[in-house]
């Protein structure tokens, strides 16, 4: 993965950038490292609105942090109200397009009005600061409206991704003990209706805390409405006041709890609070996306994941940006839907996932090449490490070699970006997340916590808290302590493997449990997958370790191919030799299986855990609630039976 190609920022980009040149980055980073409290205090004072100033910028009682302690602020006020006295009042805040092609352009003034109305709806149902709401909707504007209305009143929200099942929804409602569920009748996905209200009805008999369900009419499908409990959004909204003051909330008030799905057992509700989270996402939007006032910004994630919280809703809106939202699948009804939207709305910044990029590579260059995407000036990547071959395709085919690519590493638990390039400052290396953000003191260490030498693989850690850090796991602080802070005492353990090169650049190698040990050689799945996709026949690959009585583990590969007439037996042998050549003979795959599709979550992450189960036990027993298409796993397991 250590690529010789380095892409410095162009002089034209540097000239207009918020952070200019490596000296600019180093000065910012050094200041944050040497005087973190002064650094973040000054930024919060300059960039955010507080009803009451904090008494302490930072308090640390390991492993629990507080930022801007004693301060009072409100996230919705920062995202909406303060823009209304400026030229942004009539600027488009949310530029939305539905999968069927319907469109809404919502200004900051209009968004403020809609949020105040819905906040008053919540008040009228008896909800107040400290209560909890579950939001279960597709990608429609009412989703951020509901989030911001909750934030306005201090109701802690948890957005449950619209692809989750009734069972997954139920466990989240129960853990949060939510008083209200805000849902839609359904959502559009690949031309079909996803029946959301049906899942709510299935979940609620076991959820005694829920008093009210508010239902948005989106698809118009017939739904059951239970008297006294279920209410149509549009009926509650009639005649409601458009005046609703934002509640001054403590800096540490829980803004949201976002559940991450584990392999089995109870999901974890990752808790993010108000002021620290907001300053982190606010500043990383500026630093990493080099945001300008006139930009149209599109993060193509779903708001059901943390990426959508931080970089569709809270980060862009606090900066007064125009944030694009799209309801459907980016390749429906044809593989050029994303490129059509970029051309139509003159998108300037695109932030998407390596999974999506690999899928577009497979569809072929003719789809993006048919569209004028000259408005683009910056490309971003999020969700997993991007292999160098996909990076270069993205750079050449989509960005036409003029758009920097910001490859970002972060997690649900970190709140916002942790390792990412500032595009006017940091030279890019395909496949590397590059350098840490100001205030992020990262390192690569062994299990004793000792720094690993350059280019030696180790565990990625962060040595001290940053403002956006998750404060705890909902009602389970002991699990938070054990999982993140006790494996290497006193430092935040990310659970990712990484290495740092001689220039200090970070190369993220995937989860620690995605590292195999083959005959004593530690092999990263990311490294093997990168080698495979460099082969001209391969569109996408997922690699897992398979138990082996001699070598400990053997390499098993699942491969999807680019269009063509391939002889699978010959190609499998060719790929084995290719991997041996690219990495070493010890890495030669024992098994290569060709498949039309890989098992992925609806957010686009490959579920390697399920592939491990298939090669290990030929059965899938873990949590599959996040899977987009269960039939992919069924087909792979049946192929294994045939073998």
Task: Identify the domain boundary among 228, 244, 269.
Answer: 269
Q: Please identify, among 269, 294, 320, the residue that sits at the C-terminal boundary of a domain.
A: 269
pLDDT digits (tens, 9 = 90+) for 601-621: 776 778 888 898 888 877 776
Query: How many separate domains does the chain show?
Result: 2
- Residue 464 inside a domain? The answer is no
- Which CATH number do you get for residue 613? 3.30.300.30
In degrees, rounded to 5, the angle at the alpha carbon of residue 354 between the alpha carbons of residues 186 and 339 is 65
pLDDT over 70, % of the chain: 95
CATH of the domain at 165: 3.40.50.12780
Mean pLDDT confidence for 191-199: 95
Q: How far apart are CA 351 and CA 74, in angstroms?
A: 27
Considering the entire predicted model, what is its pTM?
0.87
Residue 338 lies in a domain: no
CB distance 545 to 555 below 8 Å: yes
> What confidence tens digit (pLDDT) does each residue in 393-411 have?
999 999 999 999 999 999 9
Q: Assess whether pLDDT exceeds 60 at residue 118.
A: yes
Domain boundary residue among 219, 242, 269? 269
- Three-state DSSP at 67 gives strand
Q: Are 537 and 562 in contact (CB under 8 A)?
A: yes
The DSSP bridge partners found for residue 58 are 67
pLDDT tens digits along 547-565: 887 777 889 999 999 989 9
Nearest to 554 by CA among 590, 592, 521: 590
Residue 22 covered by a domain = no
Q: What is the pLDDT of residues 72-98, one digit of tens each?
A: 999 999 999 999 999 999 999 999 999
DSSP H helices, 290-444, are 306-308, 315-318, 337-345, 354-363, 366-369, 388-393
Residue 471 lies in a domain: no
C-alpha span between 302 and 58 (Å, rounded): 32
Q: What is the mean pLDDT of residues 194-216?
A: 97
Q: Check pLDDT > 80 for residue 448.
A: yes
The answer to whether position 326 is within a domain reads no
The answer to whether 357 and 393 are in contact (CB under 8 A) is yes
**Mean predicted confidence (pLDDT) in 52-63:** 97
Q: Is residue 116 part of a domain?
A: yes
CA 236 from chain centre, in angstroms, equals 32
Which residue range forms the structural domain that includes residue 586? Answer: 519-642
Residue 184: closest CA among 202, 199, 200, 197: 197
Q: Is 90 inside a domain boundary?
A: no
Between 148 and 266, whose confidence is greater? 148
Residue 443 domain-assigned (yes or no): no
C-alpha dist (Å) from residue 610 to 208, 264, 280, 418, 630: 33, 12, 34, 28, 11
């Amino acid at each position: 993965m250590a690529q010789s190609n380095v892409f410095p920022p162009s002089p034209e980009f540097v000239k207009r950038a918020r952070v200019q040149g490596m000296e600019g980055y180093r000065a910012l980073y050094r200041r944050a490292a040497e005087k973190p409290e002064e650094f973040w205090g000054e930024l919060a004072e300059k960039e955010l609105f507080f009803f009451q100033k904090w008494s302490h910028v930072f308090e640390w009682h390991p492993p629990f942090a507080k930022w801007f302690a004693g301060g009072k602020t409100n996230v919705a006020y920062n995202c909406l109200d303060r823009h209304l006295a400026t030229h942004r009042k009539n600027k488009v805040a949310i530029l939305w397009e539905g999968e069927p092609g319907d469109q809404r352009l919502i200004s900051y003034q209009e968004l403020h009005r809609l949020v105040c109305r819905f906040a008053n709806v919540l008040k009228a149902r008896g909800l107040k600061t400290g209560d909890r709401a579950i939001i279960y909707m597709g990608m429609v504007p009412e989703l951020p409206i509901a989030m911001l209305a909750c934030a306005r009143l201090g109701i802690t929200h948890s957005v449950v991704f619209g692809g989750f099942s009734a069972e997954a929804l139920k466990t989240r409602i129960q853990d949060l003990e939510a008083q209200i569920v805000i849902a839609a009748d359904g959502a559009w996905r690949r031309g079909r209706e996803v029946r959301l209200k049906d899942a709510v009805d299935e979940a609620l008999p076991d959820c005694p805390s829920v008093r009210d369900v508010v239902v948005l009419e989106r698809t118009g499908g017939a739904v059951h409405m239970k008297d006294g409990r279920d209410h149509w959004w549009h009926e509650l909204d009639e005649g409601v006041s458009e005046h609703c003051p934002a509640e001054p909330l403590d800096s540490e008030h829980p803004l949201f709890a976002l559940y991450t799905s584990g392999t089995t057992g109870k999901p974890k509700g990752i808790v993010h609070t108000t002021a620290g989270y907001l300053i982190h996402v606010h500043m990383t939007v500026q630093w990493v996306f080099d945001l300008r006032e006139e930009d149209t910004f599109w993060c193509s994630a779903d708001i059901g994941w943390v990426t959508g919280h931080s970089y569709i809703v809270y980060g862009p809106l606090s900066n007064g940006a125009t944030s694009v939202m799209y309801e459907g699948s980016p390749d429906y009804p044809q593989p050029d839907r994303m490129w059509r939207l970029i051309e139509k709305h003159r998108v300037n910044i695109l932030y998407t996932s390596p999974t999506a990029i690999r899928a577009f590579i497979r569809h072929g260059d003719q789809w993006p090449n048919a569209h004028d995407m000259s408005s683009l000036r910056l490309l971003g990547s999020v969700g997993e490490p991007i292999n160098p071959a996909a990076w270069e395709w993205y750079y050449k085919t989509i960005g036409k070699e003029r758009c920097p690519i910001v490859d970002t590493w972060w997690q649900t638990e970190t709140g916002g970006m942790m390792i990412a390039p500032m595009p006017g400052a940091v030279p890019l290396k395909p496949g590397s997340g590059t350098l840490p953000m100001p205030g992020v003191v990262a390192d690569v260490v062994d299990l004793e916590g000792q720094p690993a030498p350059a280019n030696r693989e180790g565990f990625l850690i962060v040595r001290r808290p940053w403002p956006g850090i998750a404060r705890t796991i909902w009602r389970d602080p002991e699990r938070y302590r054990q999982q993140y802070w006790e494996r290497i005492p006193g430092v935040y353990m990310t659970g990712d493997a990484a290495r740092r090169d001689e220039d200090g650049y970070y190369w993220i190698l995937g989860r620690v449990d995605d590292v195999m040990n083959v005959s004593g050689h530690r092999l990263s799945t990311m490294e093997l997958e990168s080698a495979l996709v460099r082969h001209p026949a391969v569109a996408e690959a997922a690699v897992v370790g398979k138990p082996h009585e001699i070598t400990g583990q053997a390499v098993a590969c699942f491969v999807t191919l680019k269009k063509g007439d391939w002889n699978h037996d010959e190609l499998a042998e060719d790929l084995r030799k290719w991997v041996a050549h690219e990495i070493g003979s010890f890495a030669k795959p024992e098994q290569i299986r060709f498949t039309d599709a890989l098992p992925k979550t609806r957010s686009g992450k490959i579920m390697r855990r399920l592939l491990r189960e298939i090669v290990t036990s030929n059965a899938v027993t873990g949590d599959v609630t996040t899977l987009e298409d269960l039939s992919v796993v069924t087909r792979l397991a049946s192929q294994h039976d045939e073998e």
